[in-house]
């Protein structure tokens, strides 16, 4: 039983590491749904959308000063990875509650 807990913990952490990590965790979690992994997939999907939104706005406006917002995304990733490693279903500050609701039917 311990290895299953370790696998779900590892998948929950991997989901925060780039979009590719999210896709890998999504594919592996679809075989046998795990509540911890699904929760962190919703949180990580929200972070990915924020990241791509910031990148899109920067590319449209050409304002490199907005790149400081990527620091916030990085901080959210660190908090999410920390929560996943502790096996906590805790929402990210400011935005996590929204991600729980918006992506509940998807994942």
pLDDT in tens, 72-101: 889 999 999 999 999 988 888 998 888 888
Contact 24/43 with Cβ under 8 angstroms? Answer: no
Structural domain boundaries enclosing 17: 2-102
DSSP state of 17: S
Q: Which two tokens stand for residue 59?
A: 């590319």
Alpha helical stretches, state H, the chain: 2-14, 18-31, 35-61, 69-85, 96-102
Q: Is residue 69 part of a domain?
A: yes
Section 42-46 average pLDDT: 91
Q: Is residue 82 part of a domain?
A: yes
Q: Is residue 60 part of a domain?
A: yes
Question: Exposed, middle or buried by CB within 10 Å (0-12, 13-18, 19+), for 28?
Answer: middle
Q: Mean pLDDT, the chain, as a whole number?
A: 86
Q: Is the pTM of this model over 0.85?
A: no
Q: Is residue 32 part of a domain?
A: yes
Q: Is residue 15 part of a domain?
A: yes
Q: Is residue 79 part of a domain?
A: yes
Q: How confident is the model at residue 3 (pLDDT cuts 50, 70, 90)?
A: very low
Closest to 89 in 3D by CA, of 15, 47, 42, 39: 39
Q: Is residue 107 part of a domain?
A: no
Domain count, the chain: 1
């Amino acid at each position: 039983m311990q290895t299953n807990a370790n696998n779900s913990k590892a998948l929950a952490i991997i989901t925060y590491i780039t979009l590719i990590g999210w896709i890998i965790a999504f594919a592996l979690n679809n075989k046998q749904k795990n509540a911890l992994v699904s929760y962190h997939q919703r949180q990580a999907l929200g972070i990915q959308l924020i990241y791509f939104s910031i990148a899109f706005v920067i590319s449209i406006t050409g304002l490199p000063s907005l790149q400081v917002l990527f620091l916030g995304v990085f901080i959210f990733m660190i908090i999410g990875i920390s929560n996943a490693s502790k096996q906590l279903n805790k929402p990210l500050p400011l935005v996590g509650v929204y991600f729980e609701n918006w992506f509940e039917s998807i994942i």
